Amino acid sequence: MALPPAQVVSLAPNEGAVRRAGQSRPLHLWRDLGRTEQAAWGFCSGSREYTVKVDPAGTGWSCSCPSRLQPCRHVLALLWLHAEGAVPTAPAPGWVQTWLDRRARTAAGPRKGPVDADAQAKRASQRMARVQAGVEGLEIFLQDRVRDGLGNLADGGYALFEDQAKRLVDAQAPGLARRVRHLAGVIGRGEDWPARLLAGLGRLGLLVEAFHSLPSLPPPLAADVRRAVGWSLRREAVLAHRDRVIDEWQVVGQWEDPGEELVRTLRTWLLGRSSGRIALVLNHAPGERPFADALPAKGVVPGELAFWPSALARRALVLARGPGGPATASPGGHPTLAAYLAEAARRLGANPFQREDLACLAGVRPGQLDGRPALIDRAGQALLVPIALPAALLAVSGGAAIDVTGEWDGHRFRPMGAWADDTWTPLP
């Protein structure tokens, strides 16, 4: 399946790559162009001649150029030419077939060998011991902060938290490390930072308590606690959980979290049109590399998702997906803010350690609450949004009531998309 030109552009690591791809697009720069269903290929003249091969769906590519950015200009140009129908059909030459075979082997996954259950159990037990040591260190750290006084953190507090986060990373508890780093950002910001910091530290304390009580927790909640601490699940483990849903998944929000340590995360929220299930799909990419297998920023994608075990299943991985199409209906939403907040409270009760929740709000208008930007429901009640209302939200609403989706973190609502005039607009 060929990517449309707009999606080729969306693969580019930055705008400069699009411009440079345009420079490599003229046909006289290419020779031996060809394509099959599975691949397109050719030789492109640049400062020297490069061998380029791509999966027409944009999920894989290879180029012999030394570009640091991927996909490079030559890959984008070839995808572009393919999208424009400028690449003729031809039998795949040997070097392309070799590449296709290798891709097929990679997709099939690693060769299965006998599982060494003892070694596995030993590794798990070693990790648990390291995490336990890390959690105990965190408990002492938290108590020390409250004993010494949060007021002392105004000078040098950030470094203190950063050191603690590093210790947690060493203890293989990256989830806790992320939370500690997040709290470091609260220090000194805004007049009420001590209260907000204490609230965050308090939630962290509850997570530590929950970790100590892991064996006695219901399994779904225990899974949430383990994930919040930093255990990740292999694909096989997610599949083994058997919470799989086939549906038409409407993309109701997508944004890129710049993340830490040069790994970016693309958060895509989906809503099952038939099942009503909410899913959060995460894609990670290092540096400036594009996200592999990223879902589109809008539209409806048919497919099968597998959900992580959880008391409030949200996180999911995409098992299979078909060609996407435009969204033809609003995702709908709660008729009032009070109705949504009641639902949010129920969800929080199910998983007290989730940080953000998807909120679908129907018929809200842009406005203000005490001079600060907010969304107003039909009952005249307001929900604050951070900093400012997105310009695109203002533009598509024109002050009228529209359906808006976003992430709710318990304090503020971050708009992600809006449905107005029968069109879905992602909000940056």
Partner 1 sequence: MNDRVATAVLGTGSRPWTPSTAPVHAWLPAGPLPWRLLLEAGVDELRARAGRALGPGQALPTAPPEHRAQCSPELAAVLQELLRHRDRDLVALVLDRLAARGRRVPPALLPALLRDARIRALPNTWIAGGERAAWLADQRRGWAPPGPLAVHGDLLEEGTPRERLETLRQLVATDPAAAVAWLEPAIGTEPAATRRAWLALFDDPPPAVAEPLLVQALTDRSRKVRERASALLRSLPGSELAQACAGAGVHCLAWQGGRWDVVLPASWDPDWGEPPPGPDEGARTRQAGALIATVPLGAWTAATGRTPVETVAALDPSDAFVAVAWRHAALVARDTAWLTALMDRALGTGETGSAYGALIDALPSELLALRAPRALRVRDWAQLLPLLKALDRPWPLPVARAWVARFYELAQQVQHGQLDPPADALQSVRAAALALPAPLLVLDTRTWVDRLAPSRGQALVAQALDDLAHVLAVRRRLEELLPAASGEPRE
**Is residue 366 at the binding interface for partner 1, with CB under 8 A as the rule?**
yes
Pairing state between β 49-54 and 61-63 = antiparallel
Q: How many residues bind partner 1 (CB under 8 A)?
A: 69
Identify which of 223, 208, 116, 224 has the alpha carbon closest to the alpha carbon of residue 171: 208
Using CB under 8 A as the binding rule, the residues of this chain from 173 to 232 that contact partner 1 are 194-195, 198-206, 209
Using CB under 8 A as the binding rule, the residues of this chain from 402 to 421 that contact partner 1 are 410-411, 420-421
Smaller CB distance to partner 1: residue 205 or 296? 205
SS3 of residue 305 by DSSP: strand
Given candidates 85, 113, 114, 151, which one binds partner 1 under the rule CB under 8 A?
151
77: left (phi over 0), alpha (psi -120 to 50) or beta: alpha
Q: What is the CB neighbour count within 10 angstroms for residue 113?
A: 6
Nearest distance, CB of residue 124 and partner 1, angstroms: 27
Identify which of 47, 49, 44, 51 has the alpha carbon closest to the alpha carbon of residue 93: 51
**Is residue 296 at the binding interface for partner 1, with CB under 8 A as the rule?**
no
Given candidates 187, 374, 404, 416, which one binds partner 1 under the rule CB under 8 A?
374
Identify which of 175, 176, 138 has the alpha carbon closest to the alpha carbon of residue 160: 138
Residue appearing with tokens 């259950």: 117
Whether residue 46 contacts residue 74, with contact meaning beta carbons closer than 8 Å, is answered with yes
The enclosing H or E element of 245 equals: strand 244-257
**Is residue 148 at the binding interface for partner 1, with CB under 8 A as the rule?**
yes
CA distance 366 to 324: 30
**Is residue 370 at the binding interface for partner 1, with CB under 8 A as the rule?**
yes
Smaller CB distance to partner 1: residue 307 or 340? 340
CA distances from 313 to 10, 175, 231, 350, 410 (A): 30, 18, 16, 10, 18
Given candidates 85, 91, 94, 399, which one binds partner 1 under the rule CB under 8 A?
399
The enclosing H or E element of 395 equals: helix 391-397
Smaller CB distance to partner 1: residue 172 or 250? 250
Given candidates 150, 214, 239, 339, which one binds partner 1 under the rule CB under 8 A?
150
Stretch that binds partner 1, among 117-125, 238-246, 314-322, 336-344 (CB under 8 A): 336-344
Smaller CB distance to partner 1: residue 18 or 239? 18
Summarize as ranges the residues that interact with partner 1 (CB under 8 A): 6, 9, 15, 18-19, 22-23, 25-26, 28, 139, 142-152, 194-195, 198-206, 209, 337-338, 341, 344-345, 348-349, 352, 365-370, 374-376, 380-383, 391-392, 394-396, 398-400, 410-411, 420-421, 423, 425
